């Protein structure tokens, strides 16, 4: 390779690394603001159920629950009617918010350390964090995608994807009874006391 070609390749690599790092940095800043907003709101909640209600509108702004529900159901999602998709998304949203809100005590903040964000593909950024809560340490990676603005589309806790976890359950329900079975399963989960 001649020196001119080598210089061109070097410049192209430098440019591509800058192009990938800008979205990663932007997504990380977006995530930090979203987490700060949730934590500030949780300081004002009196109980886990109150916390779930207070953070719901914030989470709707920052999380793509429709994307999460679609991926959690899997290929069967295409066979849902639009009304079934809407219902499944609403139930899935309620279940996720309630489940994860119940794991936190209002007013007790976890300590989060952000690791450098990674852009594994165009329009997608993973932001790994270390979280310490009640003396326990957790590795949590937030997956964000650009859907107009950045949105959280998955959370990986200790190597387990929230989407993959629900998918094992919901895909099996779909295979045994279609969309009605998935919706029924979600309704039963939401109706159980938290």
- The whole domain housing 10 covers 3-191
Instruction: Walk along the chain (194 residues) in steps of 10 and give the mean pLDDT of each run.
Output: 39 37 78 90 82 90 96 96 98 93 82 92 93 93 92 96 94 95 96 80
In this prediction the pTM is: 0.83
Q: Contact, 179 vs 79, CB < 8 A? A: yes
Q: Can you list the alpha helix ranges (DSSP code H) found in the chain? A: 3-42, 48-62, 65-73, 82-101, 162-191
Contacts of 19 (CB under 8 A, 6+ apart): none
Closest CA to 19 of 115, 121, 114: 121
pLDDT of residue 42: 82
Q: Report how far residue 30's alpha carbon sits from residue 52's, in angstroms, rounded to the nearest whole number.
A: 21
pLDDT of residue 102: 83
pLDDT of residue 191: 92
Report the residue count for the chain. 194
Reported for 30-38, long-range contacts at CB under 8 A and 24+ positions apart, including other chains, are 30/62, 30/144, 30/149, 30/150, 31/114, 31/127, 31/142, 31/144, 31/150, 31/152, 32/114, 34/58, 34/61, 34/62, 34/152, 35/112, 37/62
For residue 97, what are its two tokens? 């918010």
Number of compact structural domains in the chain: 1
Domain with residue 136: its CATH number is 3.10.450.710
Closest CA to 127 of 97, 156, 96: 156
Q: Report how far residue 135's alpha carbon sits from residue 138's, in angstroms, rounded to the nearest whole number.
A: 10
């Amino acid at each position: 390779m001649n020196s001119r070609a080598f210089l061109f390749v070097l410049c192209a690599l430098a440019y591509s690394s800058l192009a990938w790092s800008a979205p990663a940095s932007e997504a990380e800043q977006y995530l930090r603001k979203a987490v700060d907003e949730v934590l500030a709101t949780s300081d004002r909640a009196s109980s886990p159920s109150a916390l779930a209600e207070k953070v719901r509108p914030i989470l709707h702004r920052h999380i793509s629950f429709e994307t999460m529900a679609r991926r959690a159901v899997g290929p069967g999602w295409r066979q849902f009617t639009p009304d079934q998709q809407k219902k499944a998304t609403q139930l899935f949203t309620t279940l996720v918010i309630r489940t994860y809100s119940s794991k936190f005590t209002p007013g007790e903040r976890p300590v989060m350390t952000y690791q450098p964000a990674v852009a594994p593909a165009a329009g997608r950024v993973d932001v790994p964090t270390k979280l310490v809560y009640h003396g326990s340490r957790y590795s949590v990676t937030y997956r964000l995608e650009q859907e107009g603005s950045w949105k959280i589309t998955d959370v990986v806790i200790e190597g387990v994807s929230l989407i993959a976890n629900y998918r094992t359950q919901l895909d099996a329900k779909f295979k045994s009874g279609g969309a009605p079975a998935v919706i029924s399963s979600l309704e039963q989960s939401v109706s159980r006391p938290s």
